[in-house]
Amino acid sequence: MGTTSVNAGGTHINVGSLTSPDSSITFGYSSPNITAVIASGTAVGKTITGDTGGALSPTAGNWNLLGSGSITTVGAGSTLTTQLTGLTNHAVLVGAGTSTITKLAVGTTGQVLTGVTGSDPVWAAPATNGTVTSVSVVSANGFAGTVATATTTPAITLSTTITGLLSGNGTAITGSAITQFDVLVGGASNAVSSVGPGTAGQILQSGGASANPAYSTSTYPATNAINTLLYASSANVMSALATANNGTLITSATGVPSWLANGTTGQILTATTGSPPSWAAPATSGTMVSLTGNTGVATAAAGTVNVVTANSTVKFAGSGSTLTQDFGLTNLVLGSSLSALAGGTLNVGLGLSALAATTTGAANVAIGHSSLILLTTSPSNTCVGRSTGAKITTGAGGNTLIGDAAGSNM
C-alpha cells in the first residue's frame, strides 16, 4: 500500500475514518504509522477450493455451500451441517450413480446380501447347494487319499499305512493290534486295549473303575429253563437245578441241594438224624413233658401228669386216651368246698363257704356268702342271702330263709 508522510514539511493531511465492513479488520495509529489488524489474530480467507473448479472467491463476501444428490447442508447460527437424506433405520446404502446414494429394503432374519450383475444387490435366503470346482486331498496324520473326477462328481478314496484298530488323539492316528475273539476296552489317552478270550461258559466281570474287566473263574450254563435255580455243582461250575411243583428245597447229608416232592394232605415235614427230612403222618402219641395251669406248671414224672381238683364236686376221670371232667351231679358247690362231705347228696351251694361243714345233710340249697356255713346233717333247707341260716346245724330241716343274715339267731 506504500507509505505517506504525515505532517512532512509542515504540511498537514486530514485523514477520515478507516473501517472494515464486516469488522474483520481494524485500523490503528501509532506515530508515525497507521496499522491494520485482522480480528482474533487469524488470517482472513480469500478463496475456497473444492474437488474440482479450482479456487473460488466469495461473492459479496459470501460462499454458497450447497449439497448435491443425497447430500444436503443445513445452516443454523454460525454452524453449517452436512447430512444424508432419505435414510431408513437398518437399511443398507448402495450407490445410485455418480453423485447419489440409494437404500435397500430391510432384509428378514437369516437372509444374506446377494450381488446382482448390473443391478443393486438384494436380500435373499442363503443358497443350500453350490458347485464344486475342484477337490483334492492333503496327506496328514497318517492318512493320504486320491480324488477321481475332481471337477465334476468327486469320489474321494482315503488310505493309510497304519495297521490295526485306528484311534486318534486329535493330532495323530495310531494303530492297536488286536487278536481274534479279544474284547476291546478303553485304554489311557484314547488308546484301545483288549482282554483275551476266556474259556467256554465264563462271564466277563467288571474290575472296577480303575482296572480292565476280566473273565470269571466259574463257568455258567449258556441257557436256563424257566424257574430253575443256579448252584455250584462242583468247584467253579455253576449248574441249573430243575424246579419241582410244590416241592420243598432240601439238601443231602453232603449238602447237595434237591427238591423233596410234595407230601400228601396232613403230612408234616419230619427230621431224620443224619439224613434229609421227609414227609410223614403226624404222631398219634407222645411223652408228656409238662402241663401249664392257670397258675404254675406241672412237670411230668415218668411221663405222667396227674390232673385233680381241689373241689370234691368236680372230678376228672381218665380212660384210654380220654380225660373226662365230671361235676358230680349228686352235689354241686361253686365257690366253696365240701371238704367234710360224708354221704350227703343233692346239695347245691353258690358262694364262699356255703355248705362248708356239710357231712350227711341232703337236698340243701345255699346261695350267698357263708349261707348254711355250719350245717352238717340237717336236710332240705333253702337259704338265699349272705349268712342266711348260719346257725342251722342239725335238726329236721325244711327251713326256707331269704335275706341278709336271715335265721342267724335260730
pLDDT tens-digit readout, 77-106: 888 888 877 788 988 988 877 767 888 899
Give the rounded percent of residues in the chain with a pLDDT score beyond 70: 88
Cα-trace Rg, the chain: 68
Q: Identify the CA nearest to 217 among candidates 198, 231, 230, 234.
A: 198
Per-residue pLDDT, 40: 59
* Mean pLDDT score, 215-220: 96
Q: State whether residue 232 is helix, strand or coil.
A: strand
pLDDT tens, position by position, 376-396: 999 999 999 999 999 999 988
Q: State whether residue 41 is helix, strand or coil.
A: helix
Task: Examine residue 306 and state whether it is found in any structural domain, yes or no.
Answer: no
Task: Examine residue 250 and state whether it is found in any structural domain, yes or no.
Answer: no
Task: Examine residue 385 and state whether it is found in any structural domain, yes or no.
Answer: yes
The parent domain of residue 358 ranges over 326-410
Its pTM stands at: 0.41
pLDDT tens, position by position, 279-329: 999 877 767 777 787 778 888 887 777 777 665 556 777 787 777 777 656
Domain count, the chain: 1
Q: Which residues of 345-366 are buried (b: 16+ CB within 10 A; e: fewer)?
A: eebbbbbebbbbbbeebbebbb
Task: Examine residue 372 and state whether it is found in any structural domain, yes or no.
Answer: yes
pLDDT tens, position by position, 158-192: 999 888 888 887 778 888 888 899 999 988 777 88
User: Residue 383 burial (CB < 10 Å; 0-12/13-18/19+)?
Assistant: buried
pLDDT tens, position by position, 229-278: 999 999 999 999 999 999 999 999 999 999 999 999 999 999 999 999 99
Task: Examine residue 380 and state whether it is found in any structural domain, yes or no.
Answer: yes
Average pLDDT, the chain: 84
Task: Examine residue 304 and state whether it is found in any structural domain, yes or no.
Answer: no
Better pLDDT: 66 or 364: 364
Per-residue pLDDT, 257: 96
Q: Give how far the C-alpha of residue 400 lies from the chain's centroid of Cα atoms, to the nearest Å.
A: 87
Q: Identify the CA nearest to 345 among candidates 365, 360, 366, 367.
A: 360
Task: Examine residue 274 and state whether it is found in any structural domain, yes or no.
Answer: no
